Structure formats: C-alpha cells, structure tokens
Chain A
C-alpha cells in the first residue's frame, strides 16, 4: 500500500487540490501505471481467471489473463518484426473482437499509440482521421475494412502495413503489405524462440512506459466540422477507471459485454481501462445481430447502454405482452403495478409496506425474474445509461424491476466520468454528483466546467481547439449547460450554445422543453422558440402511431396526418401534456420562467426529406424557423388561427404543397414554486 501511495504521489496530471476529500476509500492507485504493466500484473495475480471471452462457432471461448498476456506478447513481437517503432500509431478498425483489443495493448507495450476508428465511417472521414493521426499501421477486422483502407490508400501515404483478423475473401489479395493476425503472431513467436532474451527485451521496453505517456487517441465523431483527436494519457484513464471501480465496488468477478463502437471512449474505458484495472472479464458477442442473445447467455454484472437500447428493450417486452395470453397479461399488469408502487423503494432500501414486500417477492419469482433473465439483467450489479436524456418512465420501469440502472454524465475529454449517481441517490432527471476527484463549476453562461484526473491532454495537432476548450489551469468547457440542484446533483439542460434567454432574462433551454414534451408518447417532435423573445412557444408534431391507435380506440375518424393533427380532441390531449410540462417547470426555480405560453400542432410531420430534420432525426432549428416564419409570427402576434401553405417533397422526389389552417392555443402559466425538483417531477 505504501508503495502504491508513493507512486501515486509522484504522478503528474493529478490535481493536488479539491479531490482528496472526495476520494472514495478503497480506490488505491497501483504502481502499474500503463495498460501493458497492468496486463502483466493481472497475469501474475489472477492468471487463471477469465479475461476475455468470444462466442465462436456457437461456443463461448475463454482466454485467461495468462493467455491474453501470451497473445499480446507474441503479437507485439510480430509487430516489432514488421517495423513498428515507439511513437507509431496503430489504427484499429472493426467490431468488438478480442484480437482488436489485444492489438491496442500490443501497440502500447511497444510505446506506440492505438487510434480506434469508427468502423462504419465513410471512406473520406476515415481517410481524414488516418491521415491526421499519421498512422503507419492498421489492425482491421475483415475484408470489408481492408477494401476500405485500400481504397483510400493514396490519401493516407504514411500507412504501410495492414493486419487483418478474418481471412475470408482475402486469399487472392496482394499480401505484400497485408498480413494475417496469425502470421504476425507466428513471426513474433519464432522471434521469441530464436532469441533467448526476446521476452526480457519486450518486458524492458514495456517497462519504459509511464503514466503520463499518451495512451490512446480517440477521434470525436464531430457533429460539426472535422473530427478532433482527443489525447488521453495512461494516468487519465487508469485513475478515472480505478475511481469508477471503487465507486461501484467493481472487482475481478465482473462480466461485461463489449458491443459499443471501439472508437468511442465508453468502450475503451469499459472494455479495456476498467477491465485491466479491476481485472474483470470482457465478453465479445458473436456478431452485432446476436447481442441480445449473447447478453442473456452471459448475464453481465456491469453494463452500459445509451437510452435507446433501454427504450428498445421495453418496447419489445410491451409488444410481446400484448400478444401474451390473458392470464399472463393479468399477472404482468398486477405485478407491474406492485413494482411501480414499491419496487424502487425496495431497491433503494427505503420503507415499504409488508404486504408489498411480500408481493414483490412473489413477483420477482413469477414476473420480474424471468423478465430480467430475458433482457440479460439477472446478474446485473449496476447498469449505466448516458449520452442523452432518458425518459423518466423508462428509467423508473427498470428500477422498479430491481435493475440498478443509474445515469452518468461523461465525455471523451474527461475519460468518461464527470458525474455519476451514487447508490441510494438516484433521480430520473439528474445525472448525479461529481465523480470521485472531479470538480465541477458552472460558468455565468450556465455552461458546465470540470477538472479532474481524467481531463485530457489536448487535441492532437490542434492547439487552437485545445486552447478553446481547456483553460490553462485545467478546467474543461463541457459545452453543455446545466445547474446544481439543492442536494448537489447536476442537471443537464441543453447544449450551451443553444441555451438562450427570454427578453425578461429568464433562462430558455429549448432542448430541455422539447425533451420534456417528447417523453409523452403522443408527442413525436417538438420545436421550442423563445431566445430573445418575451415568451416560450412551441411547435408540436404528434406521433402518428400512438395518436393513431388512440383515435382507433376512440372512434375518431381521420384520413391523414394533417386531419388528425387538427382534430379538437387531439388538441385537448396535447394541451393537457403541455399543461403538465408547465406544472413541472413551475417547480424548478431556474426554469419556471420558460413555461410554454402558446403552442400549435404542425400540419405536417417534420421530415429529413424536407431538410427539417438531420438524417439522424435531429431537429434543424434554424431551418425550421425560416421555413415556418409566418407560423412563428402568429405564435407571437396573439392570433388564434393561421393559414399556411407549405411545400413538401415526396419520397420519389416530386414536390407538392399542403395548405392548412393551423390553430394556436394559449396555455395557463403557473407561478414559480420554490420547492425541490423531485416533488415537481412526481
């Protein structure tokens, strides 16, 4: 322990102030300050424990930490034979496969830097990243990726050697710069047999690595402009991971499923950094289509997924229950009611009635248990969701079942962890408290700034961008706006650049309002206006599936989206939703001023073909405000009806126009209540 502490004290990049009192007991920093060193440690301490599994030909194959060490050693010796030198970059392109992960650590053991790239990115984007990162070597999954790299070879002049995992279809390719993983490993093995001190040399070379060295470059997908290469050091990743492991009490017995893109910081941290520090096992699915089945077979104890995965699972269950027999459905409804009533309380260790506890036990046996098994959550110790806001209903559903789902707030630039929810303090609408050793402050503009052990070194070859994001004393601009609640939790409201103010100075966060509205199944899309104006108003798109099925059940006839959207009963329904949102907002001191004064239901669905949404279904606010200018005017001039003509593009490219009389409704505004956020969400 003493040794560990001194080692930690000697590190660079660890903030000396502010973090220590929040440091969780038990989070020790080991003396092994790089991933290759941790690999040797794990092989020594827990050599026979599983490190990696991959389902191959229908059977889970296991590699122990010793096996992994041997694989990585031989592959790195082989890479060395190919001419891989310290400081060289190794691009990693492909799906979650053990060999791709090993190649990353192999490169690190030689003093090189892995650069994982999004496997599905288009050729030009990939060319940009590979060229910018100056990669000389690439480790790819299969023929598809080899083809992609060969097609951009002239734009990436530095790229010399390509190693592939899957040989299929590559037999007739020119192999002068193309190598199979096996061939490279075999060359390494031969080298080891031929030279008595090859292994010792490799260990010596590996030992030269230091915590402050560059560990990995991760290119952010970059919704705007060119991707930027985030440089993270071993210290960044290892200290953050050890903190996170201690925070959730993760140890070598954990099982995780590696299914998220390799180029994403989350996967690097969950599948390498935390696995190497805690010594737990990472399971690689058989293929991207089999993730659900593989998860059920493995039963991960630690799991991460963006909200859409949880939404998708819930939908799947609800659809299946619709088709289930009557007895099953009744049982499901009854026990789900029990779970909704007291499931969360039981999970949080809060008081619940004796009868409910008994019923919950029974429900666990009959409904919750089997259901969690289907979803692969039977053994889940802790699951995280992040990336965007998760619907409170969905969040509560999982927690009520006894799944310990939590939220976190993270970024590539922070080695993931900025804020996380501690056990027992889980709220649907916050992202938790600052992660261990991380400091957070809110700028006057409302933007979140953070500083901690995971704070990145800088953007690769982009001084200007680094200076724009990271201040000299280490604070990083998160780019998101948020605030602290009374109990010290952080609440994210919107991208900082989208946050504006109403003319009376009240905070106006369009996405915050829109998300609140979109959590109602009947509302598909919402666009909020108000920056620099005297009140907040919204456009609403109804969800045709959801409202359509309501119409069917209530004998409401309609011929088109337009007709349904304009139906008075639909307006009533949406009005009640908007009213609910206003009530919620009234309970939040910062947001009460941005209650929705007026709304209208758009006469057509927002569509990417008309340029109103991006291809990833995000609202293009500025385009919409231009296109529907007259409607916005009407929202603010007090009129209750507006006649509009809108041009639309059909799927086959023809153009047409739709005409409509759009109704605008006024809403009740509630006085701001000073109460806490949680009561308001009830």
Chain B
C-alpha cells in the first residue's frame, strides 16, 4: 500500500488529489454537551480515510454530520466544491453518500437480495404503480437494477445466501450484506461505521480485502471508523484522530502512530 509520510506531500496514487469533502471548523452540541469541537479535515477523492479515537471521541457523530443526520451549529461542509446547506440524510444519499452502521441495520426478515435491492430505491425512476404492475418500462428498469445488484452479490461472494433471510445469517455475513446495500447506491463516498466490530480474524481479513477491492475496483472514496488499529494502519491512506470531540492528529498512518498525543489518548495519561 502506498503510504505517504507527510500530509502536505502529494496524495497517494489512488487519490486524484481532488478534495471531495471538506469539513471546516465544525462544532456540534447537544444542549450543553460538546460532541464535536472545531474540527477541520478533508477527504480526497479515491482515498481510504480513517477516523479513529477512543470511546466517546465523537467519531460516529462525525459520520452522522457527514451524511446529514446531524446538523452542526458552527462550521461549513463543502461537498464536491460546493458549500452544503442543511440537508436530510436521504438528500445526502441521493448526492452519493452511502453508509453502514455500527449495529447492523438491515431488514432482518428480508432476503439478502431484497436488502441489497433496497439500496437501489433512490435510483428507481418509475413510480410505485408502474412497479406494482411490473410491466414494460418498470420491468426493464427492475432488470437493470437487479443486474447491478447481482454484480454486487458476485463481488462480495455471497451468492450462496442470495435467498436467505438476513436474520438467519451469522454476524460477519450480515455486515457484508450491509456493505452490499451501501454499494448498491453506487456511492461516491462510502461511510463505514466500524465495519469489523465483533468479527473474528478471518472475517476481518475478508472484510479488509473487500474494502480495498471496492476502493480499487469502483474507485469509491471510503471514510471508515474502526477500533482495530492493525486494520486501520494497513488499510487507510490517511488517518484523523479525535479525542473528546477534538482533532488531535491528522496524517499518514505511520505519522499518526508515533504522535505523542495519540499515544496518550489511547494509553491514558495522568491529567
């Protein structure tokens, strides 16, 4: 993996050096609680960007800000060069931001296929009446979407559970289905909230490979939150470290690893 040592240095080969998303001095409060304080960083097109930090550091809040679930009281978010207004999550989704959740949030009673198909909802053009009669243009559209979904199923190697209700699947596979649903949106930016939590070593290796493959094959920009340091350092091009809602480091994995603030945040220091 191409790892650059200095943030100011040219971006890695995969990145096109173009800023996809820029966070400027963003702060988020819940009443008196400061979830995020004055954070700035950017995500470049084509990179894998990790957001790490101890529990309660504000990582998930940060992700929720990016996909429009929370609205920061202060600061601006620039998406593809335009300052973003206050928007709802589905608007963010339709602009090309997809995500997975820390606790798998799939439709348990539906099959893998239907779950991933649901990721295509925003791309469906025909109204529900057309879909109901499932004829002519609606059928054509469904076939096109189904093809895309089948490609994802093939990509994630989950053919054997295509028709299995996801509630019956082991956790590691559910995570993979969730990734599939996010991919079905053909996002430009993919947000992964702890994609490897609760997995065993083999599942982690599989998932890491899928993340790298998604990035390489589809050119999808990925922002991920992860606790497993080994995974983060191996996968990501750049890492931003949060602690108590503040940014304490930002840079290449090696650089971040040797940063004293980061070490203190993780190992704890006498205050």
Task: Please report A residues at the B interface, Cβ cutoff 8 Å.
Answer: 56-59, 168-169, 171-172, 286-287, 289-290, 293
Contacts and interface: CB of A to CB of B under 8 A. Distances in A.
A293 B160 contact: yes
Contacts of B154: 56-57
5 contacts: A58-B146, A58-B159, A168-B213, A169-B213, A289-B159
A168 B216 CA distance: 10
A289 B160 contact: yes
B147 A57 contact: yes
Contacts of B146: 58
A286 B213 contact: no
A56 B162 CA distance: 13
B217 A286 contact: no
Interface residues of B, number: 14
Contacts of A286: 159
B203 interface: no
B62 interface: no
Decide if the interface of chain B is mainly helix, strand, loop or mixed. helix
Interface string B179-208: 000000000000000000000000000000
A168 B209 CA distance: 11
Interface string B125-159: 00000000000000000000011001101110101
A171 B216 contact: yes
B216 A172 contact: yes
A168 B217 contact: yes
B160 A58 contact: no
Interface of B: 146-147, 150-151, 153-155, 157, 159-160, 162, 213, 216-217
Nearest to B216: A171
- The DSSP consensus for interface residues of chain A is loop
A169 B214 CA distance: 10
A169 B5 CA distance: 25
B260 to A, nearest CB: 35
Contacts of B159: 58, 286-287, 289-290
A94 to B, nearest CB: 15
Contacts of A171: 216-217
B160 A57 contact: no
B150 A57 contact: yes
Given A57-B147, A287-B159, A290-B160, 4 more contacts: A58-B150, A58-B159, A59-B150, A293-B160
Contacts of B157: 287
Contacts of B155: 168
Contact of B153 (A58, A168, A172, A289): A58
A608 to B, nearest CB: 21
Contacts of B162: 58
Given A58-B162, A290-B159, A293-B160, A169 B150 contact: no
A171 B215 CA distance: 12
Q: Which of A58, A171, A289 has the most chain B CB atoms inside 10 A of its CB?
A: A58
A33 B20 CA distance: 63
Contacts of A58: 146, 150, 153, 159, 162
A172 B12 CA distance: 14
Contacts of B216: 169, 171-172
Nearest to B154: A57
Nearest to B163: A293
By CB atoms of chain A within 10 A, which of B146, B153, B157, B160 has the most? B160
A168 B212 CA distance: 11
Nearest to A172: B216
A646 B254 CA distance: 52
A145 to B, nearest CB: 15
Contact of B151 (A57, A289, A290): A57
Contacts of B213: 168-169
Contacts of A169: 213, 216-217
A171 B213 CA distance: 10
Nearest to A291: B160
What 7 A-B pairs are tightest by C-beta distance, nearest first?
Answer: A289-B160, A57-B150, A290-B160, A58-B150, A286-B159, A287-B159, A290-B159
A588 to B, nearest CB: 44
B231 to A, nearest CB: 18
A337 to B, nearest CB: 33
A57 B150 CA distance: 5
